[in-house]
Amino acid sequence: MLKIDTNIEVRYYETDQMGVVHHSNYIRYFETARTLSMKKAGIPYDEMESQGIVMPIISVSCTYKRPALFGDTLRVTVILEKLPTVKIEFKYEVHNAQDVLLATGSTVLAFAHKETLRPMRAPQYLLDILKPLF
């Protein structure tokens, strides 16, 4: 299992008039933490795209437990429990600086050819990088 933490500071425009971070932004935090985590693991997403591979989202879910606030530094944990095949599933945990669990979530992504958006298997070099990390 692979677990990588990323710190994300809440931005003012991410709050709404309820005084908390708008729920849609967690989906964006997931993506931000995922791309930064993959970069740390040696898999920069911009290079994947320049090699003609995109990773469209198949599904997303999020459960909200406590609100995140402006001023919070969030710790977003990206968890990969299984090696990818035609799909890759990431799980997420969001904590604040007081270590309170704010939200959990998951996303399933596919691999696709950039121009045609036709599905493909996870590229071999991705598996080569991920395997030793498990």
Smallest separation, CB 134 to its own copies (Å): 25
Q: Which CB, 98 or 132, lies closer to its own copies?
A: 98
Q: Is the distance from CB of 75 to CB of 6 less than 8 angstroms?
A: yes
Report the candidate in 68, 55, 65, 53 with the shortest Cα–Cα distance to residue 7.
Answer: 68
Q: Which CB, 3 or 28, lies closer to its own copies?
A: 28
Smallest separation, CB 32 to its own copies (Å): 5
Q: Which residues bind its own copies (CB under 8 A)?
A: 9, 11-13, 15-20, 22-25, 27-28, 31-32, 35-36, 44-47, 49, 54, 56-64, 67, 69-71, 114, 117
Strand partners, 111: 120
Tokens of 19: 């005084």
Smallest separation, CB 36 to its own copies (Å): 7
**Computed from CA positions of residues 62, 65, 70, 71, in that sequence, does the dihedral angle turn out positive or negative?**
negative
Phi, psi of 117 (to 5 degrees): 60, 20
Smallest separation, CB 18 to its own copies (Å): 5
Tokens of 21: 């971070």
